[in-house]
Amino acid sequence: MTLTATTALLSYRDGTLLRAGEPHRVLSGSMHYFRVHPEQWRDRLERIVALGLNTVDTYVAWNFHQRHADRPASFDGWRDLEAFILLAGDVGLDVIVRPGPYICAEWDNGGLPAWLTGRIGMRARSSEPAYLSAVSTWFDDLIPRLAALQASNGGPIVAVQVENEYGSYGDDAGYLTWLRDALTERGVTELLYTADGPTDLMLDGGSIPGVLATATFGSRAREASALLSARRDGEPFLCAEFWNGWFDHWGELHHVRSVPSADATLDEILDVGGSVSLYMAHGGTNFGLWAGANHDGRLQPTITSYDSDAPIAEHGAVTEKFHAFRERFSAVSGRPVPAVPGDPRILTGRSVRVTKGAGLLEALLSAPVTAEHPAPPSFDELGIASGMVLYSASPLLPRGENAITVTGLHDRAQVFVDGVPCGTLDADGSVPVTGRGETIALQLLVENQGRINYGPLLGQGKGILGGVQVGRRLVHGWTARALPLDEWTASEVAGFAGAYAATRDADAAGFSTARVVLGAGEPADAFLALPGFGKGFVWVNGFLLGRYWEIGPQRTLYVPAPLLVEGENTVTVLELHRSGTTVEFRARPELGEREEYVETF
Protein backbone atom coordinates (compact mmCIF):
# COMPACT_ATOMS: atom_id res chain seq x y z
CA MET A 1 0.00 0.00 0.00
CA THR A 2 1.33 3.44 -0.91
CA LEU A 3 0.32 6.57 0.99
CA THR A 4 1.43 9.93 -0.31
CA ALA A 5 1.05 13.48 0.98
CA THR A 6 2.35 16.02 -1.53
CA THR A 7 0.85 19.43 -0.72
CA ALA A 8 3.55 20.58 1.71
CA LEU A 9 7.31 21.00 2.01
CA LEU A 10 7.27 17.93 4.25
CA SER A 11 5.57 14.93 2.70
CA TYR A 12 5.88 11.16 2.84
CA ARG A 13 5.83 8.17 0.55
CA ASP A 14 5.95 4.48 1.42
CA GLY A 15 6.97 5.17 5.00
CA THR A 16 9.68 7.68 4.11
CA LEU A 17 9.53 11.30 5.21
CA LEU A 18 10.46 13.73 2.45
CA ARG A 19 11.47 17.40 2.42
CA ALA A 20 11.04 19.01 -0.98
CA GLY A 21 10.82 15.48 -2.36
CA GLU A 22 14.09 14.24 -0.84
CA PRO A 23 14.43 11.79 2.09
CA HIS A 24 14.56 13.74 5.32
CA ARG A 25 14.67 13.19 9.04
CA VAL A 26 13.14 15.75 11.39
CA LEU A 27 15.55 16.31 14.26
CA SER A 28 13.61 18.69 16.43
CA GLY A 29 13.54 20.06 19.93
CA SER A 30 10.79 21.73 21.92
CA MET A 31 11.27 25.26 23.18
CA HIS A 32 8.35 27.42 24.28
CA TYR A 33 8.61 31.14 23.56
CA PHE A 34 6.37 31.82 26.56
CA ARG A 35 8.89 30.18 28.95
CA VAL A 36 11.98 32.08 27.79
CA HIS A 37 12.62 35.82 28.08
CA PRO A 38 12.38 37.24 24.53
CA GLU A 39 15.83 38.83 24.77
CA GLN A 40 17.15 35.28 25.20
CA TRP A 41 15.24 33.63 22.35
CA ARG A 42 18.11 33.90 19.87
CA ASP A 43 20.68 32.53 22.30
CA ARG A 44 18.55 29.48 23.08
CA LEU A 45 17.70 28.86 19.42
CA GLU A 46 21.38 29.03 18.49
CA ARG A 47 22.07 26.43 21.17
CA ILE A 48 19.40 24.21 19.62
CA VAL A 49 21.24 24.50 16.30
CA ALA A 50 24.52 23.66 18.06
CA LEU A 51 22.83 20.57 19.49
CA GLY A 52 22.60 19.29 15.93
CA LEU A 53 18.88 19.83 15.41
CA ASN A 54 17.28 21.11 12.22
CA THR A 55 13.86 22.00 13.63
CA VAL A 56 12.30 23.64 16.67
CA ASP A 57 8.72 23.14 17.77
CA THR A 58 6.59 25.23 20.07
CA TYR A 59 3.15 25.17 21.54
CA VAL A 60 0.93 28.25 21.34
CA ALA A 61 -0.60 29.10 24.73
CA TRP A 62 -3.96 30.75 24.08
CA ASN A 63 -4.30 32.07 27.63
CA PHE A 64 -0.87 33.70 27.40
CA HIS A 65 -2.15 35.81 24.50
CA GLN A 66 -5.73 36.45 25.65
CA ARG A 67 -6.15 36.69 29.41
CA HIS A 68 -9.51 38.45 29.25
CA ALA A 69 -12.50 37.69 27.06
CA ASP A 70 -13.31 41.36 26.53
CA ARG A 71 -9.82 42.29 25.31
CA PRO A 72 -8.16 41.38 22.01
CA ALA A 73 -5.36 38.84 21.99
CA SER A 74 -1.88 40.31 22.29
CA PHE A 75 0.97 39.45 19.92
CA ASP A 76 3.42 42.08 21.15
CA GLY A 77 6.62 41.87 23.18
CA TRP A 78 6.94 38.54 24.96
CA ARG A 79 3.84 37.41 23.04
CA ASP A 80 5.26 38.17 19.60
CA LEU A 81 4.94 34.63 18.29
CA GLU A 82 5.66 35.70 14.73
CA ALA A 83 8.97 37.27 15.79
CA PHE A 84 9.96 34.03 17.52
CA ILE A 85 9.14 31.95 14.44
CA LEU A 86 11.04 34.30 12.13
CA LEU A 87 14.01 34.29 14.50
CA ALA A 88 14.04 30.48 14.42
CA GLY A 89 14.11 30.61 10.64
CA ASP A 90 16.86 33.21 10.74
CA VAL A 91 19.18 30.86 12.68
CA GLY A 92 18.46 28.09 10.18
CA LEU A 93 15.72 26.06 11.83
CA ASP A 94 12.49 24.71 10.42
CA VAL A 95 9.53 25.34 12.72
CA ILE A 96 6.70 23.07 13.83
CA VAL A 97 3.78 24.84 15.49
CA ARG A 98 1.38 23.20 17.93
CA PRO A 99 -1.54 25.62 18.22
CA GLY A 100 -3.82 23.44 20.34
CA PRO A 101 -6.08 25.07 21.36
CA TYR A 102 -5.35 22.67 24.23
CA ILE A 103 -1.62 22.16 24.81
CA CYS A 104 -1.19 20.45 28.23
CA ALA A 105 2.51 21.45 28.58
CA GLU A 106 2.22 21.58 32.40
CA TRP A 107 0.86 25.06 31.66
CA ASP A 108 -2.02 26.64 33.56
CA ASN A 109 -5.36 25.20 32.35
CA GLY A 110 -3.55 23.43 29.50
CA GLY A 111 -3.36 26.77 27.69
CA LEU A 112 -7.12 27.33 27.66
CA PRO A 113 -8.24 30.72 28.98
CA ALA A 114 -9.84 30.61 32.41
CA TRP A 115 -12.59 32.89 31.16
CA LEU A 116 -13.56 30.21 28.65
CA THR A 117 -13.61 27.24 31.02
CA GLY A 118 -15.32 29.48 33.55
CA ARG A 119 -18.22 29.71 31.11
CA ILE A 120 -18.40 26.13 29.90
CA GLY A 121 -16.92 24.23 32.84
CA MET A 122 -15.37 20.89 31.99
CA ARG A 123 -16.86 20.66 28.49
CA ALA A 124 -13.79 21.87 26.61
CA ARG A 125 -12.06 19.73 23.99
CA SER A 126 -15.34 18.59 22.50
CA SER A 127 -17.98 19.61 20.00
CA GLU A 128 -19.63 21.77 22.66
CA PRO A 129 -20.94 24.71 20.57
CA ALA A 130 -19.79 27.42 22.99
CA TYR A 131 -16.29 25.95 22.98
CA LEU A 132 -16.09 25.69 19.20
CA SER A 133 -17.35 29.24 18.84
CA ALA A 134 -14.59 30.58 21.09
CA VAL A 135 -11.92 28.49 19.34
CA SER A 136 -13.17 29.70 15.97
CA THR A 137 -12.78 33.33 17.01
CA TRP A 138 -9.30 32.68 18.40
CA PHE A 139 -8.23 30.79 15.29
CA ASP A 140 -9.52 33.64 13.10
CA ASP A 141 -6.80 35.75 14.72
CA LEU A 142 -4.04 33.18 15.21
CA ILE A 143 -4.03 30.87 12.21
CA PRO A 144 -3.68 33.47 9.41
CA ARG A 145 -0.57 34.74 11.22
CA LEU A 146 0.87 31.22 11.11
CA ALA A 147 -0.26 30.57 7.54
CA ALA A 148 1.67 33.63 6.38
CA LEU A 149 4.85 32.13 7.84
CA GLN A 150 4.55 28.71 6.20
CA ALA A 151 7.28 27.35 3.95
CA SER A 152 4.93 27.76 0.99
CA ASN A 153 5.02 31.51 1.70
CA GLY A 154 8.76 31.66 2.23
CA GLY A 155 8.59 31.17 6.00
CA PRO A 156 10.04 28.49 8.27
CA ILE A 157 6.83 26.66 9.33
CA VAL A 158 6.84 23.13 7.90
CA ALA A 159 4.19 21.35 9.99
CA VAL A 160 1.21 22.06 12.25
CA GLN A 161 -0.17 19.77 14.94
CA VAL A 162 -3.90 19.12 15.31
CA GLU A 163 -4.96 19.33 19.00
CA ASN A 164 -2.64 17.58 21.46
CA GLU A 165 -2.67 14.02 22.76
CA TYR A 166 -6.43 14.00 22.38
CA GLY A 167 -6.58 10.22 22.67
CA SER A 168 -5.55 10.55 26.32
CA TYR A 169 -8.68 12.60 26.93
CA GLY A 170 -11.65 11.89 24.67
CA ASP A 171 -13.10 10.24 21.58
CA ASP A 172 -15.02 13.08 19.90
CA ALA A 173 -13.93 12.38 16.32
CA GLY A 174 -16.15 15.17 15.06
CA TYR A 175 -14.22 17.66 17.18
CA LEU A 176 -10.88 16.56 15.72
CA THR A 177 -12.09 16.78 12.13
CA TRP A 178 -13.60 20.19 12.91
CA LEU A 179 -10.17 21.34 14.14
CA ARG A 180 -8.42 19.94 11.07
CA ASP A 181 -10.83 21.81 8.84
CA ALA A 182 -10.50 24.96 10.96
CA LEU A 183 -6.77 24.95 10.23
CA THR A 184 -7.01 24.29 6.50
CA GLU A 185 -9.88 26.73 5.97
CA ARG A 186 -7.70 29.47 7.48
CA GLY A 187 -4.80 28.77 5.16
CA VAL A 188 -2.71 25.95 6.63
CA THR A 189 -1.25 23.93 3.75
CA GLU A 190 1.84 22.40 5.36
CA LEU A 191 1.92 18.91 6.85
CA LEU A 192 -0.73 18.23 9.49
CA TYR A 193 -0.24 15.60 12.16
CA THR A 194 -1.68 14.33 15.44
CA ALA A 195 0.34 13.27 18.49
CA ASP A 196 -0.76 10.60 20.97
CA GLY A 197 0.57 8.01 23.35
CA PRO A 198 1.55 4.73 21.65
CA THR A 199 -1.39 2.58 22.74
CA ASP A 200 -4.43 1.46 20.80
CA LEU A 201 -6.70 3.30 23.23
CA MET A 202 -4.93 6.63 22.73
CA LEU A 203 -4.41 6.28 18.99
CA ASP A 204 -8.05 5.25 18.53
CA GLY A 205 -9.18 8.46 20.23
CA GLY A 206 -6.65 10.88 18.81
CA SER A 207 -5.99 9.92 15.18
CA ILE A 208 -7.69 11.37 12.10
CA PRO A 209 -7.93 9.53 8.77
CA GLY A 210 -5.61 11.13 6.25
CA VAL A 211 -3.62 13.02 8.89
CA LEU A 212 -0.18 11.71 9.87
CA ALA A 213 -0.30 9.93 13.24
CA THR A 214 2.72 10.37 15.51
CA ALA A 215 3.56 9.22 19.02
CA THR A 216 4.71 10.76 22.30
CA PHE A 217 6.70 8.62 24.72
CA GLY A 218 9.83 8.24 26.80
CA SER A 219 10.71 4.58 26.34
CA ARG A 220 10.03 1.41 24.31
CA ALA A 221 10.54 3.17 20.99
CA ARG A 222 10.58 0.00 18.91
CA GLU A 223 7.19 -1.01 20.30
CA ALA A 224 5.80 2.42 19.43
CA SER A 225 7.21 2.21 15.92
CA ALA A 226 5.76 -1.26 15.37
CA LEU A 227 2.33 -0.21 16.63
CA LEU A 228 2.17 2.85 14.39
CA SER A 229 3.40 0.86 11.41
CA ALA A 230 0.72 -1.77 11.95
CA ARG A 231 -2.01 0.84 12.27
CA ARG A 232 -0.85 3.39 9.68
CA ASP A 233 0.90 1.49 6.91
CA GLY A 234 2.98 3.77 4.69
CA GLU A 235 3.39 6.58 7.22
CA PRO A 236 6.84 7.56 8.52
CA PHE A 237 7.67 7.09 12.19
CA LEU A 238 7.86 10.35 14.10
CA CYS A 239 8.24 10.65 17.85
CA ALA A 240 6.55 14.00 18.36
CA GLU A 241 7.72 14.15 21.97
CA PHE A 242 10.68 12.15 23.25
CA TRP A 243 10.63 12.64 27.01
CA ASN A 244 14.35 12.82 27.67
CA GLY A 245 13.56 14.35 31.08
CA TRP A 246 10.51 15.19 33.17
CA PHE A 247 8.89 18.00 35.12
CA ASP A 248 8.50 18.39 38.90
CA HIS A 249 5.68 18.95 41.38
CA TRP A 250 5.97 20.77 44.68
CA GLY A 251 6.67 18.35 47.52
CA GLU A 252 8.22 15.69 45.30
CA LEU A 253 11.81 15.00 44.25
CA HIS A 254 13.55 16.61 41.27
CA HIS A 255 13.05 14.28 38.32
CA VAL A 256 16.04 13.56 36.13
CA ARG A 257 16.86 11.03 33.45
CA SER A 258 20.37 9.69 33.18
CA VAL A 259 22.31 10.20 29.99
CA PRO A 260 22.70 6.46 29.30
CA SER A 261 18.95 5.89 29.71
CA ALA A 262 17.91 8.82 27.50
CA ASP A 263 20.62 8.07 24.95
CA ALA A 264 19.53 4.44 24.64
CA THR A 265 15.94 5.38 23.80
CA LEU A 266 17.07 8.08 21.39
CA ASP A 267 19.22 5.46 19.68
CA GLU A 268 16.15 3.21 19.35
CA ILE A 269 14.17 5.96 17.65
CA LEU A 270 16.95 6.79 15.23
CA ASP A 271 17.94 3.17 14.59
CA VAL A 272 14.46 2.35 13.26
CA GLY A 273 14.67 5.36 10.94
CA GLY A 274 12.47 7.62 13.02
CA SER A 275 12.28 11.36 13.25
CA VAL A 276 12.23 12.86 16.72
CA SER A 277 11.48 15.94 18.77
CA LEU A 278 13.13 16.28 22.16
CA TYR A 279 10.69 17.25 24.89
CA MET A 280 12.27 19.43 26.05
CA ALA A 281 15.38 20.64 24.23
CA HIS A 282 15.21 23.73 26.44
CA GLY A 283 12.55 23.82 29.13
CA GLY A 284 12.75 27.35 30.46
CA THR A 285 10.66 28.66 33.34
CA ASN A 286 7.02 28.89 34.45
CA PHE A 287 7.30 32.57 35.22
CA GLY A 288 4.54 34.36 37.07
CA LEU A 289 1.66 32.05 37.92
CA TRP A 290 1.63 30.08 34.67
CA ALA A 291 2.59 26.71 36.15
CA GLY A 292 -0.21 24.17 35.85
CA ALA A 293 -1.09 21.18 38.00
CA ASN A 294 -1.88 17.50 37.76
CA HIS A 295 -4.41 15.58 39.84
CA ASP A 296 -4.15 11.95 40.89
CA GLY A 297 -6.72 12.11 43.68
CA ARG A 298 -4.93 15.13 45.12
CA LEU A 299 -3.71 18.30 43.50
CA GLN A 300 -0.08 18.18 42.31
CA PRO A 301 0.97 21.76 41.48
CA THR A 302 3.95 22.14 39.16
CA ILE A 303 7.01 24.07 40.33
CA THR A 304 8.25 27.35 38.86
CA SER A 305 11.25 25.81 37.10
CA TYR A 306 10.60 23.91 33.87
CA ASP A 307 14.22 22.81 33.53
CA SER A 308 12.94 19.28 32.78
CA ASP A 309 16.51 17.91 32.86
CA ALA A 310 16.73 19.05 29.25
CA PRO A 311 19.98 19.12 27.21
CA ILE A 312 19.94 22.92 27.49
CA ALA A 313 19.41 23.83 31.15
CA GLU A 314 16.88 26.37 32.40
CA HIS A 315 19.50 29.14 32.35
CA GLY A 316 20.93 28.13 28.96
CA ALA A 317 23.96 26.11 30.04
CA VAL A 318 24.71 23.00 28.01
CA THR A 319 24.75 19.69 29.86
CA GLU A 320 26.31 16.25 29.61
CA LYS A 321 23.09 15.18 27.90
CA PHE A 322 23.58 17.96 25.33
CA HIS A 323 27.00 16.65 24.36
CA ALA A 324 25.84 13.02 24.15
CA PHE A 325 22.86 13.90 21.96
CA ARG A 326 24.93 16.27 19.84
CA GLU A 327 27.33 13.48 18.95
CA ARG A 328 24.45 11.22 17.95
CA PHE A 329 22.65 13.86 15.87
CA SER A 330 25.86 14.79 14.07
CA ALA A 331 26.42 11.15 13.15
CA VAL A 332 22.85 10.72 11.89
CA SER A 333 22.78 13.92 9.84
CA GLY A 334 26.24 13.37 8.41
CA ARG A 335 27.03 17.06 8.62
CA PRO A 336 29.14 19.11 11.02
CA VAL A 337 27.33 21.09 13.67
CA PRO A 338 28.22 24.62 14.80
CA ALA A 339 30.50 25.23 17.75
CA VAL A 340 28.87 25.10 21.17
CA PRO A 341 28.29 28.56 22.66
CA GLY A 342 29.82 29.27 26.05
CA ASP A 343 27.60 29.06 29.10
CA PRO A 344 25.82 32.26 30.17
CA ARG A 345 27.53 34.48 32.72
CA ILE A 346 26.22 34.11 36.29
CA LEU A 347 25.91 36.88 38.87
CA THR A 348 28.38 36.40 41.71
CA GLY A 349 26.93 35.16 44.98
CA ARG A 350 25.75 37.64 47.59
CA SER A 351 23.36 37.93 50.52
CA VAL A 352 21.15 40.97 51.07
CA ARG A 353 19.10 41.75 54.18
CA VAL A 354 15.43 42.49 53.66
CA THR A 355 13.37 45.34 55.02
CA LYS A 356 10.05 44.30 56.50
CA GLY A 357 6.98 45.86 54.95
CA ALA A 358 3.28 45.49 55.58
CA GLY A 359 1.95 42.39 57.32
CA LEU A 360 0.01 39.86 55.26
CA LEU A 361 -3.55 40.63 56.31
CA GLU A 362 -3.14 44.36 56.73
CA ALA A 363 -1.66 44.65 53.26
CA LEU A 364 -4.25 42.49 51.53
CA LEU A 365 -7.17 44.10 53.37
CA SER A 366 -6.07 47.37 51.78
CA ALA A 367 -7.13 45.94 48.41
CA PRO A 368 -10.54 47.15 47.24
CA VAL A 369 -13.55 44.91 47.75
CA THR A 370 -14.26 43.23 44.43
CA ALA A 371 -17.68 41.81 45.25
CA GLU A 372 -20.19 41.15 48.01
CA HIS A 373 -22.12 37.88 47.89
CA PRO A 374 -24.29 35.80 50.20
CA ALA A 375 -21.97 32.85 49.42
CA PRO A 376 -18.23 33.05 48.70
CA PRO A 377 -17.80 33.71 44.95
CA SER A 378 -15.37 31.68 42.85
CA PHE A 379 -12.37 33.05 41.00
CA ASP A 380 -14.34 32.82 37.77
CA GLU A 381 -17.25 34.77 39.24
CA LEU A 382 -14.78 37.43 40.31
CA GLY A 383 -13.22 37.55 36.85
CA ILE A 384 -9.69 36.53 37.81
CA ALA A 385 -7.72 33.60 36.45
CA SER A 386 -4.96 33.24 39.02
CA GLY A 387 -3.51 34.57 42.24
CA MET A 388 -5.49 34.68 45.46
CA VAL A 389 -8.83 35.80 46.87
CA LEU A 390 -9.30 37.13 50.40
CA TYR A 391 -12.77 36.20 51.66
CA SER A 392 -14.20 37.99 54.72
CA ALA A 393 -17.34 37.39 56.79
CA SER A 394 -18.57 38.11 60.34
CA PRO A 395 -20.35 35.01 61.69
CA LEU A 396 -21.51 34.53 65.27
CA LEU A 397 -19.28 31.91 66.88
CA PRO A 398 -20.99 29.98 69.71
CA ARG A 399 -19.21 29.46 73.02
CA GLY A 400 -16.89 26.52 73.25
CA GLU A 401 -15.21 24.43 70.58
CA ASN A 402 -16.36 24.97 67.01
CA ALA A 403 -15.27 23.66 63.63
CA ILE A 404 -14.94 26.04 60.69
CA THR A 405 -15.39 23.77 57.68
CA VAL A 406 -14.71 24.50 54.02
CA THR A 407 -16.18 22.43 51.18
CA GLY A 408 -15.32 22.74 47.51
CA LEU A 409 -11.92 24.27 48.26
CA HIS A 410 -9.62 24.86 45.29
CA ASP A 411 -6.84 24.95 46.26
CA ARG A 412 -5.44 26.12 49.58
CA ALA A 413 -6.90 28.27 52.35
CA GLN A 414 -5.32 30.07 55.27
CA VAL A 415 -7.92 30.69 57.98
CA PHE A 416 -7.78 33.77 60.21
CA VAL A 417 -10.06 34.63 63.15
CA ASP A 418 -9.87 38.20 64.43
CA GLY A 419 -6.62 38.59 62.52
CA VAL A 420 -4.95 35.55 64.08
CA PRO A 421 -3.94 32.60 61.86
CA CYS A 422 -5.83 29.48 62.95
CA GLY A 423 -4.81 26.90 60.38
CA THR A 424 -4.28 26.00 56.75
CA LEU A 425 -6.38 23.71 54.58
CA ASP A 426 -5.03 22.02 51.45
CA ALA A 427 -8.35 20.35 50.67
CA ASP A 428 -11.86 20.22 52.08
CA GLY A 429 -11.62 20.07 55.87
CA SER A 430 -12.05 21.87 59.18
CA VAL A 431 -10.15 24.17 61.50
CA PRO A 432 -11.00 24.08 65.24
CA VAL A 433 -11.79 27.46 66.82
CA THR A 434 -12.87 28.36 70.35
CA GLY A 435 -15.82 30.76 70.49
CA ARG A 436 -17.00 33.22 73.14
CA GLY A 437 -20.54 33.67 71.91
CA GLU A 438 -19.52 36.72 69.89
CA THR A 439 -19.26 37.79 66.27
CA ILE A 440 -15.82 37.17 64.82
CA ALA A 441 -13.88 38.61 61.91
CA LEU A 442 -13.35 35.53 59.72
CA GLN A 443 -10.95 35.65 56.79
CA LEU A 444 -9.96 32.92 54.38
CA LEU A 445 -7.06 33.61 52.04
CA VAL A 446 -7.48 31.15 49.17
CA GLU A 447 -4.65 30.50 46.73
CA ASN A 448 -5.02 29.10 43.23
CA GLN A 449 -1.92 26.89 43.00
CA GLY A 450 -2.28 26.27 39.27
CA ARG A 451 -5.16 25.11 37.12
CA ILE A 452 -5.20 21.45 36.14
CA ASN A 453 -3.61 20.96 32.72
CA TYR A 454 -4.20 17.26 32.07
CA GLY A 455 -7.00 14.74 32.49
CA PRO A 456 -10.75 14.75 33.09
CA LEU A 457 -10.64 17.60 35.64
CA LEU A 458 -9.41 20.08 33.02
CA GLY A 459 -11.47 23.24 33.40
CA GLN A 460 -12.18 22.82 37.10
CA GLY A 461 -12.80 26.14 38.83
CA LYS A 462 -10.83 27.83 41.59
CA GLY A 463 -11.73 29.41 44.91
CA ILE A 464 -14.42 28.21 47.29
CA LEU A 465 -16.85 26.33 45.07
CA GLY A 466 -18.89 24.97 47.97
CA GLY A 467 -19.33 26.84 51.22
CA VAL A 468 -18.00 27.68 54.67
CA GLN A 469 -19.73 26.40 57.78
CA VAL A 470 -19.59 27.02 61.51
CA GLY A 471 -20.63 23.61 62.75
CA ARG A 472 -23.58 22.69 60.53
CA ARG A 473 -24.49 26.30 59.80
CA LEU A 474 -23.45 27.88 56.51
CA VAL A 475 -21.81 31.28 56.78
CA HIS A 476 -23.38 33.96 54.59
CA GLY A 477 -22.60 37.59 53.87
CA TRP A 478 -19.17 37.54 52.24
CA THR A 479 -16.94 40.22 50.83
CA ALA A 480 -14.24 39.15 48.41
CA ARG A 481 -11.03 40.89 47.42
CA ALA A 482 -9.55 39.57 44.19
CA LEU A 483 -5.74 39.54 44.21
CA PRO A 484 -4.49 38.82 40.67
CA LEU A 485 -0.83 38.94 41.65
CA ASP A 486 0.51 38.39 38.16
CA GLU A 487 -1.43 41.38 36.84
CA TRP A 488 -0.17 43.81 39.46
CA THR A 489 2.04 46.57 38.11
CA ALA A 490 5.36 47.38 39.75
CA SER A 491 3.76 50.38 41.45
CA GLU A 492 0.90 48.24 42.75
CA VAL A 493 3.36 45.73 44.20
CA ALA A 494 5.23 48.56 45.90
CA GLY A 495 1.95 50.02 47.13
CA PHE A 496 0.84 46.79 48.78
CA ALA A 497 4.28 46.20 50.27
CA GLY A 498 4.21 49.63 51.90
CA ALA A 499 0.50 49.80 52.68
CA TYR A 500 1.12 50.14 56.43
CA ALA A 501 4.04 50.67 58.76
CA ALA A 502 5.96 47.47 59.40
CA THR A 503 4.81 46.65 62.94
CA ARG A 504 4.71 42.89 62.55
CA ASP A 505 7.03 40.41 64.22
CA ALA A 506 10.28 39.91 62.34
CA ASP A 507 9.38 36.42 61.12
CA ALA A 508 5.66 37.00 60.54
CA ALA A 509 3.97 36.70 57.15
CA GLY A 510 3.84 39.72 54.89
CA PHE A 511 5.88 41.76 52.46
CA SER A 512 9.66 42.16 52.54
CA THR A 513 11.90 44.16 50.23
CA ALA A 514 15.58 43.96 49.37
CA ARG A 515 17.64 46.48 47.39
CA VAL A 516 20.43 45.02 45.29
CA VAL A 517 22.88 47.42 43.67
CA LEU A 518 24.75 46.20 40.58
CA GLY A 519 27.67 47.97 38.97
CA ALA A 520 28.39 48.66 35.32
CA GLY A 521 28.42 45.46 33.30
CA GLU A 522 27.42 43.42 36.34
CA PRO A 523 23.83 42.31 35.52
CA ALA A 524 23.85 38.63 34.58
CA ASP A 525 21.72 35.54 35.01
CA ALA A 526 21.10 34.82 38.69
CA PHE A 527 19.68 32.20 41.03
CA LEU A 528 17.60 33.68 43.84
CA ALA A 529 17.20 31.83 47.14
CA LEU A 530 14.99 32.79 50.08
CA PRO A 531 16.43 31.06 53.17
CA GLY A 532 14.11 31.10 56.16
CA PHE A 533 11.04 31.98 54.11
CA GLY A 534 8.21 29.44 53.91
CA LYS A 535 5.87 29.89 50.94
CA GLY A 536 5.00 32.77 48.73
CA PHE A 537 5.77 34.87 45.69
CA VAL A 538 8.72 36.99 44.60
CA TRP A 539 9.05 39.93 42.21
CA VAL A 540 12.25 41.36 40.72
CA ASN A 541 11.93 44.96 39.56
CA GLY A 542 8.16 44.51 39.42
CA PHE A 543 8.28 41.28 37.39
CA LEU A 544 6.68 38.28 39.10
CA LEU A 545 9.28 35.50 38.92
CA GLY A 546 6.91 32.93 40.38
CA ARG A 547 6.23 30.88 43.48
CA TYR A 548 8.69 29.56 46.03
CA TRP A 549 7.94 26.93 48.68
CA GLU A 550 10.21 25.43 51.28
CA ILE A 551 8.83 21.91 50.71
CA GLY A 552 10.88 21.89 47.48
CA PRO A 553 12.27 20.36 45.49
CA GLN A 554 13.20 23.73 43.96
CA ARG A 555 15.39 25.91 46.20
CA THR A 556 16.40 28.71 43.83
CA LEU A 557 14.45 30.75 41.28
CA TYR A 558 16.06 31.59 37.95
CA VAL A 559 16.40 35.34 37.30
CA PRO A 560 17.11 36.07 33.60
CA ALA A 561 19.75 38.73 33.09
CA PRO A 562 17.38 41.04 31.15
CA LEU A 563 15.33 41.53 34.33
CA LEU A 564 18.28 43.12 36.15
CA VAL A 565 19.68 46.61 35.63
CA GLU A 566 22.81 48.52 36.46
CA GLY A 567 22.14 50.42 39.66
CA GLU A 568 19.40 49.58 42.15
CA ASN A 569 17.28 46.45 41.74
CA THR A 570 14.27 45.72 43.94
CA VAL A 571 13.36 42.24 45.16
CA THR A 572 9.88 42.09 46.71
CA VAL A 573 8.71 39.02 48.60
CA LEU A 574 5.13 38.21 49.64
CA GLU A 575 5.42 35.53 52.33
CA LEU A 576 2.30 33.64 53.40
CA HIS A 577 3.60 32.04 56.60
CA ARG A 578 7.10 32.77 57.93
CA SER A 579 9.54 35.40 56.73
CA GLY A 580 13.30 35.15 56.58
CA THR A 581 15.82 37.92 57.03
CA THR A 582 17.83 37.77 53.79
CA VAL A 583 17.59 36.95 50.12
CA GLU A 584 20.56 35.36 48.42
CA PHE A 585 21.96 35.19 44.92
CA ARG A 586 23.71 31.85 44.55
CA ALA A 587 26.32 30.65 42.11
CA ARG A 588 24.32 27.73 40.71
CA PRO A 589 20.74 26.46 40.44
CA GLU A 590 19.43 24.28 43.24
CA LEU A 591 16.54 22.20 41.96
CA GLY A 592 16.49 19.65 44.77
CA GLU A 593 17.27 16.04 45.54
CA ARG A 594 17.35 14.06 42.31
CA GLU A 595 15.24 11.05 41.40
CA GLU A 596 15.69 8.99 38.23
CA TYR A 597 12.39 8.97 36.37
CA VAL A 598 11.39 7.45 33.04
CA GLU A 599 7.77 7.92 31.95
CA THR A 600 6.25 4.87 30.32
CA PHE A 601 2.83 3.74 29.12
Residue-wise pLDDT for 219-261, tens only, equals: 999 999 999 999 999 999 999 999 999 999 999 999 999 999 9
Q: What is the pLDDT of residues 569-592, one digit of tens each?
A: 999 999 999 999 999 999 999 999
Amino acid identity at 174: G
Given a cut of 50, whether residue 6 has pLDDT beyond it is no
| Crossing angle (nearest 10°) for helices 259-271 and 320-333 | 20
d(CA 456, CA 454): 7
Closest residue by Cα to residue 256 from 211, 309, 183: 309
Q: What is the pLDDT of residues 443-487, one digit of tens each?
A: 999 999 999 999 999 999 999 999 999 999 999 999 999 999 999
Q: Walk me through the domains of the chain, giving residue ranges and CATH numbers.
A: 4-333 (3.20.20.80), 350-358+499-595 (2.60.120.260), 367-484 (2.60.120.260)
d(CA 147, CA 113): 23
Question: What pTM value is reported for the model?
Answer: 0.97
Convert 86-120 into a string of H (helix), E (strand) and C (coil).
Answer: HHHHHCCCEEEEECCCCCCCCEHHHHCCHHHHHHH
Q: What is the pLDDT of residues 494-513, one digit of tens each?
A: 999 887 766 668 789 999 99
d(CA 339, CA 330): 12
Antiparallel, parallel or unpaired: β 412-417 and 442-447: antiparallel
**3-class state of residue 12 by DSSP:** strand
Q: What is the pLDDT of residues 380-400, one digit of tens each?
A: 999 999 999 999 999 999 999
* Contact between residue 573 and residue 538 where contact means Cβ atoms under 8 Å apart: yes
Interacting residues of 350 by C-beta distance below 8 A, sequence separation 6+: 516, 584, 585
The pLDDT value recorded for residue 501 is 61
The pLDDT value recorded for residue 519 is 96
The residues carrying an active-site annotation are 165, 241
CA dihedral 48, 49, 50, 54 (to 10 degrees): 110
d(CA 355, CA 327): 50
> Count H helices, E strands: the chain?
13, 37
The pLDDT value recorded for residue 505 is 80
**3-class state of residue 554 by DSSP:** coil
Q: What is the pLDDT of residues 261-295, one digit of tens each?
A: 999 999 999 999 999 999 999 999 999 999 999 99
Asked if the bond preceding 31 is cis, omega within 30° of 0, the reply is: no
* Contact between residue 308 and residue 247 where contact means Cβ atoms under 8 Å apart: yes
